[in-house]
């Protein structure tokens, strides 16, 4: 039985945003501690992130933008925008976060692991080609999608984004692209203000963006209905060669940055729907990438539930 891959590196802790910033290093420490207590590591294969060639980041971001981030960190700047804090190590860590996703894709594409979860930071789904925002520097998921297409010839990629905040960066990058189906379910209206249901793609990409804006107070029941009755048939029709999950857990009922009511068990059910899709469409190929989630207990328990749905025959401890 193939294991589930887990990407992590201690250098991810070096992206120093300060103790009071929601996206801080304690997030990774808490979820890893919870995994060690409540999950069998025998089911997991630790994947070391590569130090990727910048050419892969340039598939999504401009050279000038990449250079500007490197320079900002070297010069000791501490803000890229009002929300996105950096430190001297942030550029290297952001590159290593991309490397974590690429390494996970290598392991999944070559069938060394069944699927994979990337416990990385900084997150990425708000980052646009030339703009950092919403705690995000490089768009990890978008870079991973292009890498999978170019390196592993996985032509059609489904991105499922269940972060509480709409992944405007991913949407913008692939808005004209029929080879990437972007599906987002998110609180609306909410930061960053995008993700209305009328946003469906443009040109050849029309119909390959699908937004499901959810009202404040929506929880497991509403989300599961969307996944079973809207995502599942739409994705089956698209028939992806790979599924990427933009896995934000800030829709949890205890998270301070949203007004949604998901539970850790709800995230498990969402994962089960995606895993079923992957088994039916693309030989189980799923790579999940951490985005939001800012209540440490809620984040940790949700990740355990998420991974328990990745692992065959695993029963989560109650």
| Termini Cα distance of the chain | 24
Active-site residue identified among 15, 61, 126, 306: 126
List C-alpha distances in Å: 261 to 64, 214, 216, 252. 40, 11, 8, 6
Q: Which helix (H) or strand (E) holds 28?
A: helix 26-38
| 126 in active site | yes
Identify which of 184, 170, 186 has the alpha carbon closest to the alpha carbon of residue 124.
170
**Other C-beta atoms within 10 Å of 16: how many?**
17
C-alpha to C-alpha distance for 53 and 168, rounded to whole angstroms: 25
Burial class of 274 by CB neighbour count within 10 A (0 to 12, 13 to 18, 19+) = buried
DSSP per position, 266-305: HHHHHHHHHHHHHHHHSTT-EEEEE----SHHHHHHHHHH
Provide CB contacts within 8 A for 278, sequence distance 6+.
115, 243, 284, 285, 286
CB 12 within 8 A of CB 25: yes
CB 9 within 8 A of CB 48: yes
Q: Which helix (H) or strand (E) holds 210?
A: strand 209-214
CB 163 within 8 A of CB 260: no
C-alpha to C-alpha distance for 274 and 234, rounded to whole angstroms: 12
Catalytic residues: 126
């Amino acid at each position: 039985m193939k294991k589930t891959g887990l990407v992590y590196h201690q250098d991810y802790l070096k992206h120093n945003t300060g103790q009071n910033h929601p996206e801080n290093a304690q997030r990774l420490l808490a979820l890893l501690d919870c995994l060690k207590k409540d999950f069998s590591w025998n089911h997991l294969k630790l994947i070391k992130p590569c130090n990727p060639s910048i050419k892969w980041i340039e598939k999504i971001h401009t050279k000038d933008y990449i250079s500007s981030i490197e320079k900002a960190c070297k010069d000791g700047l501490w803000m890229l925008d009002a929300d996105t804090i950096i430190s001297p190590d942030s550029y290297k860590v952001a590159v290593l976060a991309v490397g974590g996703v690429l390494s996970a894709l290598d392991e999944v594409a070559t069938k060394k692991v069944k699927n994979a979860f990337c416990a990385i930071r900084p997150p990425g789904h708000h980052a646009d080609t030339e703009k950092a925002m919403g705690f995000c520097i490089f768009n990890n998921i978008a870079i991973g999608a292009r890498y999978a297409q170019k390196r592993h010839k996985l032509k059609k990629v489904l991105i499922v984004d269940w972060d509480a905040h709409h992944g405007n960066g991913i949407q913008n990058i692939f808005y004209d692209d029929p080879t990437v189906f972007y599906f987002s379910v998110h609180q609306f209206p909410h930061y960053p203000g995008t993700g209305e249901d009328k946003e469906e793609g443009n040109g050849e990409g029309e119909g390959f963006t699908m937004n499901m804006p959810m009202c404040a107070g929506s929880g497991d029941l509403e989300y599961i209905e969307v996944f079973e009755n809207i995502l599942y048939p739409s994705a089956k029709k698209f028939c992806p060669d790979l599924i990427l999950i933009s896995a934000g857990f800030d829709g949890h009922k205890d998270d301070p940055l949203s007004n949604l009511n998901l539970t850790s068990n709800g995230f498990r059910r969402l994962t089960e729907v995606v895993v079923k899709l992957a088994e039916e469409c693309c030989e189980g190929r799923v790579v999940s990438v951490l985005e939001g989630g800012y209540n440490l207990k809620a984040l940790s328990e949700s990740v355990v539930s998420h991974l328990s749905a990745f692992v065959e025959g695993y029963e989560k401890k109650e």
